Structure formats: structure tokens, C-alpha cells
Structure 1
């Protein structure tokens, strides 16, 4: 982009709301995984404490990546994609069902779709750097 061109990026309110929801939801999820490790292991007996902590760190990373998207950084989306793949692998290893394991990747698809919402003829995805 030409530095002399003064362009104020804008995103649709639904995109902003979704990113804020991702930040809040993943922050709460991370706290749950990190602080209630024993309770989570009761519902996932094949999960080691390390796996639960890793899932908590992935949720925390998702909150950070959503924050990056709010700052117009496309790397936030790619980070979100990587954490979704990592969570899929961990969930399969701790014997979660395939449907439950794929939910993270569905979330990536939903995020991508929401980033396509336009405001003034330009999508949030197009505005990402």
C-alpha cells in the first residue's frame, strides 16, 4: 500500500463482535483448562495433565491471535488455523470423538467466513496486512 494514501480501515460490527467473543471465550476456556485440570480429566480420562495444559495454552493463543486480527494482522488468522490443527491432534490422541475433535477446525472456517463480511465494499479479510 502506498504510504501517501490515507486509508482508514474499517470492519463490519459483526466481525468486531465475533473477534471480541473469540477473545472472551478463549480466555475463559484457557482459565478453565489451566485451573480446573482435574475436573476436565474426569470427563477425558485418557488425557494427561500435560495435554489439558496444552489445550489451555492453545485457547490462550487463540485469544492472542484474535487480538492480532483486531489489529489487522493476517498472521492472527494463520495462528488460529495452526492452533486448530494442534487441538485436533491432541483431541484425537485423548480419544475425543472425531466430531468433537473437528470443532476447532469448524471454528477456523466460521472465522474465515466472518472475515468475508464487507463494509463499504471491502471485507475485513481484504484489509488484513
Structure 2
């Protein structure tokens, strides 16, 4: 599982829409909601390919979520995800380094602004004492 992978989690929904005649030639949609707990939650794994398109890797429903295979697959993904995050931390890209420097400069600017505010407040307090 790479950073180019996402899981789409779907909870609930409805299967089909039937049209109910309410008279006068009018029909209203009547949805049949999903109540089967095995189908209430689905996880769809999407991977962004080098060709620039999303590919469905796997689809898991409620039955799969409680299975041993799913638990093993999730643990494998979790370990792989941790590995990718470690790589990003150890070997940041140039863009990430620029962002980090920008964030640091914003922190420094904020600190200077805070110190100026404190010194201005102190000066006002001193001026009020002298009056």
C-alpha cells in the first residue's frame, strides 16, 4: 500500500428506487434501504496508477470485515503504511523541505509579533502609571 492508495468507506445506502403512484398521475420515489448488516458497510480500496487513473484494487463488505483474511490484510497494510510514512520523514522531498522552512519562518514571525505586542503592552502600562 503506497501513499497513492485510499480506502473509500461506504456506510448505509439503498438498493433500488421504486416509484409509488400517489394519484393524479403523480409518482414518488420509494427507496429500499439496506438493512442487512453484512452489506451495511463496504470498503473499496482505490489505487492511483502511474497512468493517472484510479483502479479498484479490492471491495470488502461486512462479511469480509470480520474475516481473518481481512484482519491479516489490514495488518499488512498498516505495516506498509508505517514504512511509507517513515520514508517520507527520513527522505523528505524538496517540496516538503520548502514547506517545512516556510512553516518555520511563520513561527518565527509569529514569535516576533508576540514579543512586540508584549513590549507594547508593557509600554502602555508604564505610561498609565506615570499619568
Q: What TM-score results when the alignment is normalised by the length of structure 2?
A: 0.25
The one of the two structures with greater contact order (alpha-carbon pairs below 8 A, sep at least 6) is 1
Instruction: Compare CA radii of gyration and give the structure with the larger one.
Output: 2
Q: What TM-score results when the alignment is normalised by the length of structure 1?
A: 0.25
Higher helix share: 1
